[in-house]
A and B are shown apart, each in its own frame.
Chain A
Amino acid sequence: MSAKEMTAMKLDPRTKMVMVICLSCLALIYNTPGRLLLVLAATIVLLLIFRFDPSAVFGYLKPFLSLMLILFVIQCIFSPGGNVLLTVGPVPLVTDNGLLVGSSVVLRIIVVIAAAMLLTTFSSRDFILGLVQWKVPYEVAFMVFIALRFLPIFREEAINVITAIQLRGIELKKVPWGQKMTIYRQLFFPLIYGMMQKAQQLAVSMEARGFRAYPRRTYLRRLNFNLTDYVVMLLFSAVTLMLILLQIT
């Protein structure tokens, strides 16, 4: 099946959700860099098939870079076993096993984030519709969607605050660590409070537009699985289950 054919098929959003679940499960169950690299390669191929620029994933990974570095270093130092590569005095600091575990953790995060990008290849309306047709209550589906929408808003809000601070002439890079921590501590609660205020305004706006005004919702459009959706879902689920069983045994 060529990439062009697969794009032309316009898979159901629920099929893509299954794909994301399968890829994420594999990322969680595998613990060697080699296998995780294979899962990452498969994810990138899927992103290309659905015409998502894989280089854009880097933009989404950027905020997590420091977290990934910290996790990598911690795993490198505290994972026991393997050949010692670096010692500080009598203490073995880095082992080859530590390096493998550290790289696995980083790769796992990359796979989960890259796989989640598949969810951006369809509209938010389809996301909610897909969950509702899976018998997820509409309120819950809508909450999940809003939660997902709030993550980038929170990130944007944090970037705005950092920009606003710099526009007051404060060179954050040159501020001593102690003062920097004080500034961040001062900003934390207003930032959270600002987000809560936004959530409250959203709730009011939704109520004003009749959210949950009637107990039963009707939908103009219905998502329908076609044969390809069934085949892809079955294939992904079967392969994932088989790989998990192989890994466990």
Chain B
Amino acid sequence: MAYLELRQVTFSYPRKMKPALTGINLNFEKEEITAITGPNGCGKTTLTKLMIGILKATEGEIYLAGRPLTDYSLAEIGSRIGYVFQKPDLLLFCSTVAEEIGFGLTNRGCDPETVQKRIKFYLDYFELTDYRNDFPLHLSQGEKERLAIAAMLANEPEFLILDEPTIGLDAYRKKLLENYLKKIARLGRGMILVSHDAPFVNRLAERVVFMADGRIQVCNERKGNDGYEA
């Protein structure tokens, strides 16, 4: 049974004649890394928003772990799937960088010691320690992206959806993120990467889904990719 399953999913935005997505059939395994690519406006972000329940499919069904996605609340989906928006600003709402990383854990009843340990780990890993008391929206684009990813990873979700995770990251930080995602993948956590960054996708993804005009055009299995197995 696929972890995430989309059956004949069609989606139209209100007051738009043309559907943003048409007849999408896709399965995502829990331990698999899939990349979704395609030109601007082809429906990649819309597809991910449907998969985490922010948008509701106009037609068709989406299943998460065998149950219809509509049976889950947004928080239930959020505790299973970690999602990073294309615009990291949308995910940042706390007063300090440290609070942002610990927000989910604190409010889900984790003991303070564990929260502090995890905050420290992610601040160090994503090189945000110098900014721990800064206001998140004052950070640069790349720093915000790293913070949004760190805040999501701190919750340890079982599956990840990252929408353009490499935007604003320099080569060194991109490598750091790549290494961390590989580490997570080795622990059996799958992910969907929406990205235009071909080298990044090639190094990580086991399968590449190419979209155009709201439809799946090609779905390639990429056995033996260089990065993930390294």
Contact = CB atoms under 8 A, between A and B. Distances in A.
A170 B94 CA distance: 15
Interface in B81-130: 83, 89-95, 99, 103-104, 107-108
Contacts, number: 70
Given A169-B155, A197-B137, A187 B107 contact: no
A223 interface: no
Interface string A154-192: 000000110111111111110100010001001101110
A169 B95 contact: no
Contacts of B74: 163, 166-167
Contacts of B83: 167
Nearest to B49: A163
Interface in B165-213: none
A171 B75 contact: yes
Contact of A169 (B54, B108, B137): B108
A163 B155 contact: no
Contact of B93 (A175, A191, A197): A191
Nearest to A165: B93
Nearest to B87: A160
A173 B74 CA distance: 11
Interface residues of B, number: 29
A169 to B, nearest CB: 3
B108 A170 contact: yes
Interface string B123-164: 000000000000111000000000000011001010000000
| Residue of B74, B77, B83 contacting most chain A CB atoms (<10 Å) | B74
B79 interface: yes
A48 B94 CA distance: 43
A56 B140 CA distance: 39
A127 B9 CA distance: 40
Contacts of A171: 73, 75-76
B121 to A, nearest CB: 17
A167 B52 contact: yes
Given A161-B93, A179-B107, A189-B95, A167 B137 contact: no
Given A164-B90, A167-B52, A183-B107, A193 B135 contact: yes
Contacts of A172: 75
B91 A186 contact: no
B19 interface: no
| Residue of A175, A187, A190 contacting most chain B CB atoms (<10 Å) | A190
Nearest to B103: A168
B52 A194 contact: no
Contacts of B52: 167
A179 B103 CA distance: 12
Contacts of A194: 89, 93, 137
Nearest to B156: A169
Given A170-B108, A175-B107, A190-B137, A164 B75 contact: no
Contact of B75 (A170, A186, A187, A189): A170
Contacts of B227: none
B23 interface: no
Contacts of A191: 93
B75 A166 contact: yes
B130 to A, nearest CB: 20
Contacts of B94: 186-187, 190
A171 B73 CA distance: 8
Contacts of B76: 169, 171
Interface of A: 160-161, 163-173, 175, 179, 183, 186-187, 189-191, 193-194, 197
Given A168-B108, A193-B135, 7 more contacts: A163-B90, A166-B73, A166-B75, A169-B76, A169-B155, A169-B157, A170-B78
26 contacts: A160-B90, A163-B74, A164-B90, A164-B92, A164-B93, A166-B73, A166-B75, A167-B52, A167-B75, A167-B83, A167-B91, A168-B108, A168-B151, A169-B108, A169-B155, A170-B78, A179-B107, A186-B94, A186-B95, A187-B93, A189-B95, A190-B94, A190-B95, A190-B135, A194-B93, A197-B137
